[in-house]
Amino acid sequence: MAQLIQSWLICNGRFRVQAIDGIGRRKGRIIEVEVIDTRERFHGSAQRLERLVRKLATPAQRFSAAAT
């Protein structure tokens, strides 16, 4: 089954977050966080990456747990 990959910027465009969108019973999850300036990419478990994104995001850009 194909899955939709979403990408968005946080912290005024300093970081790019890539995630797989949830389809049907499958839960969406973050798969990668990239530093735009250095092109460095971080991989890890979905829970660990979600915690990282929550720490990086400003209050107005909070990553919604309902979206995962």
Verdict on whether the full-model pTM lies above 0.85: no
Reduced to 3 states, what is the DSSP secondary structure of residue 42?
Answer: strand
Our count of domains for the chain comes to 1
What local confidence, expressed as pLDDT, does residue 65 receive?
Answer: 47
What angle (nearest 5°) sits at the alpha carbon of residue 1, between those of residues 27 and 43? Answer: 50
- Contact between 8 and 16 under an 8 Å Cβ cutoff? The reply is yes
- Inside any domain, residue 14: yes
DSSP class per residue in 7-49:
EEEETTTTEEEEEEPP-TTPPPEEEEEEETTT--EE---HHHH
What digits encode the pLDDT tens for the residues 36-48? 999 999 999 999 9
Domain range holding 46? Answer: 5-60
What digits encode the pLDDT tens for the residues 8-66? 999 888 999 999 988 888 888 999 999 999 999 999 999 999 999 888 886 655 555 44
- Inside any domain, residue 27: yes
Reduced to 3 states, what is the DSSP secondary structure of residue 23?
Answer: coil
